[in-house]
Amino acid sequence: MEEWWRGGVIYQIYPRSFQDTNSDGIGDLKGITKRLEYIAELGVDAVWISPIFSSPMKDMGYDVSDYKNIDPIFGTLEDFDELVDRAHSLDLKVMIDQVLSHSSDQHPFFLESREGKNNPKSDWYVWSDPLSNGSAPNNWLSIFEGVAWEWEARRKQYYLHNFLVCQPDFNFHNKEVQDWLLSTVRFWLDRGVDGFRLDTVNYYFHDKKLRDNPARLQSVESVLVNPYYMQEHIHSISQPENITFIENLRVLVDQYEDCALIGEISNIDLMAEYTKGNKRLQLAYSFELLGTEFSSKHIKDVIEYFFEISPNGNPCWSFSNHDVIRHLSRWSEEQDSLTGFAKLTAAILLSLEGTICLFQGEELGQTESDLDFEELTDPLGKRFWPENKGRDGCRTPMVWNSEKEYAGFSDVKPWLPVKDSQLKRASYQQLSDPESVLSFYKLMLSFRKNNKELRNGKTTFIDIHEQILAFSRKFDEKIILCVFNLAKDSIKLKAEGVECANSQITCGVKFSNNLLKFEPNGFIFLRANSGNTIFKVVN
């Protein structure tokens, strides 16, 4: 049986911003269920739903207070069961976010743990005595809030938090903690989910000796904003014990038919390590293609490097998600040509080898919302403003219909604003336009699904021109050549031994007598004839 996730496409839903049905300005599970047909018609294989568990929402659900219940702002367990049933009836798999590394400080186990050193949950979180001068036990830093240690007067100890102060880290060195967390995973598997996106999957274990992290040797621009990136985090995260837990998690998930795990990973080396063989994660993604660099060389280098260190691996690629500036805004300042650029990036992403994640609104050519400080909810943005405006700009509500108030997302003021620049890219207005970004995503998703070369073929890059990204995808002796112009100027190529793979998937390219003229953002898919394929730049 072919595994659905291998070469598949997953659509990420940010539930707070997808569809509100109870008029509180916040999206909910019933809203997702209402829109599942729209997602199925796109042609994706699965949905990944960002956190929906009970939470004080200090970090928008990534601070969990009850791992076996739905937060009331999203609905009920019955609403969730209805969502899963409806998704399955539409042949959509359902994956949910699983936040195992830390809980909310309002979780009953932490409330008990902080009370003293001799209760049943006293060792369920990471506690340490202060140094002799009263300071924190080591130099570890939090991504969000400076020092990674917070003082608790009742225990006269510090607790570890890699993120917000209100997100204490579980002590994974305690086997009881591991067993309990695995039981929460089983709870959702029994309710019919098809897999999990594992938040910060390499953050589970810490160095038991609490050794200091060394300074980071290479300079990075982000250290000017957040000192977290001035350290090499070799002791606070990514410990070898992590792999053993991942393997135990895989054993559990494999007891259920056709389920998959996607891990959020710091870098591509760990991405390969955590997906090695068939006993760890099926999938993992890192941030190499979620950054600021967009060039043919960068894309080529990242993908070639992954398959160099993991020749049999199955990577997961994305250009946008809930943690980064939307890729059209990261990579292009030319608003007038965004439609063409959106199609170009869609064509590139959906022709890559591996599994693909799309972020809600990406299929509309959605851009980052420019928010004022007073409109922010994200603690990251509030702390590092204005150098880092946080993640709210990519999390604003889905725009369904520009003719309706609040874009059809809600009939009351949403939790984040809908700006005019986002409103004009509403889905309803794009549905009947064959030249729209939405129509192209549907076309490209169908092209990928119906051509095993793109879904399962192996990749070979072709050097043509520094601004041309070109590679072949080969499956069962069939080859599709994928050629993209990333330059701001037109480029002409002479091609021998090719034919157009599908005239509908050619955009901004004139193909005549083996001469290809690429406009900016132009791309084409070609089939290789027998013999060698040769590309030459023509002046």
Q: Which residue shows structure tokens 């607790």?
A: 159
Pair 137, 159: CB distance under 8 Å: no
- For residues 455-475, give the mean pLDDT: 95
* Cα gap 447→8, rounded to integer Å: 12
Question: Which among 28, 45, 79, 264 is annotated as catalytic?
Answer: 264
Instruction: Please provide the distance, in angstroms rounded to a whole number, between the alpha carbons at the two ends of the chain.
Output: 50
CATH topology of domain 458-538: Immunoglobulin-like (2.60.40)
Pair 477, 496: CB distance under 8 Å: no
Please list the residues that pair with 515 across neighbouring strands.
Answer: 494, 512
Pair 363, 438: CB distance under 8 Å: yes
* pLDDT at position 169: 98
Please list the residues that pair with 260 across neighbouring strands.
Answer: 195
491-496/458-461 β-pairing = unpaired
* pLDDT at position 232: 94
| pLDDT exceeds 60 at position 531 | no
Could you give the C-alpha distances from 18 to 164, 360, 425, in angstroms and in order?
25, 8, 15
User: How does pLDDT run across 65-85, given as a tens digit for each residue?
Assistant: 999 999 999 999 999 999 999
491-496/534-538 β-pairing = antiparallel
Q: Which two tokens stand for residue 90?
A: 């539409």
Concerning whether 264 is annotated as a catalytic residue, the answer is yes
pTM given for the model: 0.96
Q: CB neighbours of 528 closer than 8 A, spacing ≥ 6? A: 472, 479, 480, 481, 497, 498
User: How does pLDDT run across 476-500, given as a tens digit for each residue?
Assistant: 989 999 999 999 999 999 988 887 7
| pLDDT exceeds 80 at position 307 | yes
* pLDDT at position 316: 97
* pLDDT at position 219: 64
Which of the four pLDDT bands, split at 50, 70 and 90, describes residue 335? low
Concerning whether 115 is annotated as a catalytic residue, the answer is no
Q: Which two tokens stand for residue 175?
A: 């086997």
Q: CB neighbours of 193 closer than 8 A, spacing ≥ 6? A: 84, 94, 95, 96, 259
| pLDDT exceeds 60 at position 515 | yes
User: How does pLDDT run across 84-139, given as a tens digit for each residue?
Assistant: 999 999 999 999 999 999 999 999 999 999 999 999 999 999 999 999 999 999 99
| pLDDT exceeds 90 at position 2 | no
User: How does pLDDT run across 181-239, given as a tens digit for each residue?
Assistant: 999 999 999 999 999 999 999 999 999 999 999 998 876 655 568 899 899 999 999 99
- For residues 166-175, give the mean pLDDT: 98
User: If you average pLDDT over every residue of the chain, what do you get?
Assistant: 95
Question: Which among 145, 169, 199, 353 is annotated as catalytic?
Answer: 199
H helices of 216-295, where?
Answer: 241-253, 268-274
Please list the residues that pair with 96 across neighbouring strands.
Answer: 49, 196
> Read out DSSP for 59-112?
TTTSS-SEEEEE-TTT--HHHHHHHHHHHHHTT-EEEEEE--SB--TTSHHHHH
427-431 long-range contacts, CB within 8 A, separation 24+: 427/38, 427/364, 427/398, 427/399, 427/400, 427/401, 428/400, 428/401, 428/402, 428/403, 429/401, 429/402, 430/364
Q: CB neighbours of 514 closer than 8 A, spacing ≥ 6? A: 494, 495, 496, 498
Q: Where are the beta strands (DSSP E) in 353-477?
A: 355-359, 458-461, 468-475
Q: b vs e for 2-18, b when ≥16 Cβ sit within 10 Å of the residue's Cβ?
A: eebbebbbbbbbbbbbb
* Cα gap 301→284, rounded to integer Å: 18
Per-domain boundaries in the chain: 9-101+174-448, 458-538
* Cα gap 269→320, rounded to integer Å: 20
Which is nearest to 253 in space by CA: 282, 214, 212? 282
- For residues 283-289, give the mean pLDDT: 95
* Cα gap 537→466, rounded to integer Å: 11
| pLDDT exceeds 70 at position 409 | yes
- For residues 460-480, give the mean pLDDT: 94
| pLDDT exceeds 80 at position 518 | yes
* pLDDT at position 499: 75
- For residues 307-334, give the mean pLDDT: 94
Which is nearest to 86 in space by CA: 138, 16, 29? 29
Region label for 469, one of left (φ > 0), alpha (ψ between -120 and 50) or beta (otherwise): beta
Which is nearest to 353 in space by CA: 4, 6, 2, 3? 6
Which is nearest to 281 in space by CA: 240, 321, 249? 249
Of the candidate CATH numbers 3.20.20.80, 3.40.309.10, 1.20.210.10, 3.40.190.10, the domain formed by 9-101+174-448 belongs to 3.20.20.80
* pLDDT at position 449: 96
Using CB atoms within 10 Å of the CB of residue 193, give its burial: 0 to 12 exposed, 13 to 18 middle, 19+ buried: buried
Could you give the C-alpha distances from 126 to 183, 201, 242, 445, in angstroms and in order?
21, 17, 16, 45
* Percentage of the chain modeled with pLDDT above 90: 88
* pLDDT at position 223: 56
Which of the four pLDDT bands, split at 50, 70 and 90, describes residue 360? very high
* pLDDT at position 496: 84
* pLDDT at position 233: 96
| pLDDT exceeds 80 at position 160 | yes
